[in-house]
Amino acid sequence: MAPENAKPEQDGEKAASSPELTAIPAAKHFHLHLVSDASGETLTTMAKAAVVRLPGAKPNRHMHPLVRNPRQLAVVLQHIEASPGIVLFTLANPHLAELLEKRCDELGVPCVPVLRPVLKAFEDYLKMPSRPVVAAQHTLDADYFRRIEAMNYTLAHDDSQRTDDLDKADIVLVGASRTSKTPTSIYLANRGYKTANVSLVPNIPPPPNLTSLKNAFVIGLVASAERLSEIRRNRLLALNSNNFEDYVDTDVIKNEIAFTKRLCSQNRWQFVDVTRKSIEETAAQIIAIYEGNRS
């Protein structure tokens, strides 16, 4: 039996002693060097994916792109020596990779060839060697120019502009206002897909060639009426305007969404619900649908 003068255990004290609660780790700052013979986009993506899984990790990122000869690598090594930290690299030139790994070993810092285990798995499984350095670089250059071409096309075909040559697109996004057509198009362009987007409004016919495209792949974007109303209200607030009641009316928006779905159904287009989805998630789903229909 507890003594009469013992204080009852408070909820706060009980919670504090609970083993189920884990304290958030203090911020840990560190240097992160990303060394690439191209843009470094692959390294950036992989680094972000790793850091997000480490609460409190605060990288001071150092980008070292286009490292293609020993002189350029020497400059990078000076930076690493001045600010030691984790090194991630993608260098197709084996001599440069060896120099980097050797110096990092001398400095006592981790040096990770992020593509090497992936490439090794491909080589072993396919029983074939990887391409020589020059061919690999040509591939990188071709991919770069493909993305530039895609971005130029996408910017010129935003929000129902230049609908006369929609069939030159890889992907055409259709949907009501504020269904994230433009940012999704830009994201897809950065992945190398020429993307046009067309706004759909009930009682206004879509571009006449939209329903007869032979090469472009059309995908509809929809969202819940409540979510679209919320986004549109925020948009009007940003513009300091409140003169568009129909624009935010959920019944009107439901009609717009139904129009998009009906048009998709009539033309056997698939659609993606973007409600509460990030641009990256929406784009990933679109790419999966697009590539799945090509195979």
What is the DSSP code string of 57-116? Answer: EEEEEEEE----SHHHHHHHHHHHHHS-EEEEEE-S-HHHHHHHHHHHHHHT--EEETTH
- Whole-angstrom Cα distance, residue 180 to residue 90? 33
Q: Is there a contact between 216 and 198 (Cβ–Cβ < 8 Å)?
A: no
Residue 265, pLDDT score: 98
Kindly give the residue spans of alpha helices, DSSP state H, lying in the chain: 11-17, 41-51, 70-82, 94-107, 116-126, 133-156, 181-190, 225-238, 245-248, 250-267, 279-294
- pLDDT category, 41, cuts 50, 70, 90? confident
Instruction: Report the pLDDT value the prediction gives residue 1, as an integer from 0 to 100.
Output: 42
More confident residue, 130 or 199: 199
Longest dimension (CA), the chain: 87
Residue 132 in this model has a pLDDT that exceeds 70: no
Is 176 annotated as belonging to a binding site?
yes
> Is the separation of the CB atoms in 147 and 136 below 8 Å?
no
Q: Report the percentage of the chain scoring pLDDT > 70.
A: 87
Question: What pLDDT, on a 0 to 100 scale, did the predictor assign at position 239?
Answer: 77
- For the chain, the distance separating the N- and C-terminal CA atoms, rounded to the nearest angstrom, is 74
Bridge partners of residue 174, in order along the sequence: 198, 220
Indicate the pTM of the whole model.
0.66
pLDDT surpasses 80 at 5: no
**Per-residue confidence (pLDDT) for residue 27, from 0 to 100:** 80
**Is 127 part of any known ligand binding site?**
no
What fold does the segment set 147-294 form as a domain?
Rossmann fold (3.40.50)
Task: With CA atoms as reference, report the closest residue to 217 among 191, 187, 194.
Answer: 194
Q: Any idea where the domains of the chain sit in the sequence?
A: 28-126, 147-294
Would you state the pLDDT for residue 133? 56
What is the bridge-based pairing of β-strands 270-273 and 217-222? Answer: parallel
Mean pLDDT of 218-241: 91
Lowest mean pLDDT among 116-130, 163-177, 254-268: 116-130
Residue 163 is assigned to a ligand binding site: no
Q: What is the mean pLDDT of residues 23-37?
A: 86
Least confident of 17-26, 69-78, 119-128, 182-191: 17-26
Split at pLDDT 50, 70, 90, the class of 9 is very low
Average of per-residue pLDDT values in the chain? 88
CA distance 237 to 292: 40
- The pLDDT, as a whole number, for residue 207 is 96
The larger pLDDT score, comparing residue 195 to residue 21, is at 195
Contact 101, 113 (CB under 8 A): yes
Please indicate if the annotation marks 181 as binding a ligand: yes
Q: Smallest Cα–Cα separation from 192: which of 172, 170, 174, 173?
A: 170
The response to whether 135 counts as a known ligand-binding position is no
Question: Any known ligand binding at 229?
Answer: no
Mean pLDDT over 222-227 rounds to 97
Q: Is residue 92 scored above 80 in pLDDT?
A: yes
Distance CA 187, CA 195 (A): 9
Domain 28-126 has CATH 3.40.50.2300: yes
- Residue 268 one-letter amino acid: R
Amino acid 139: pLDDT? 59
Neighbours of 133 (CB within 10 A): 16
- For the cut 90, the answer to whether the pLDDT of residue 104 exceeds it is yes
pLDDT of residue 97: 96
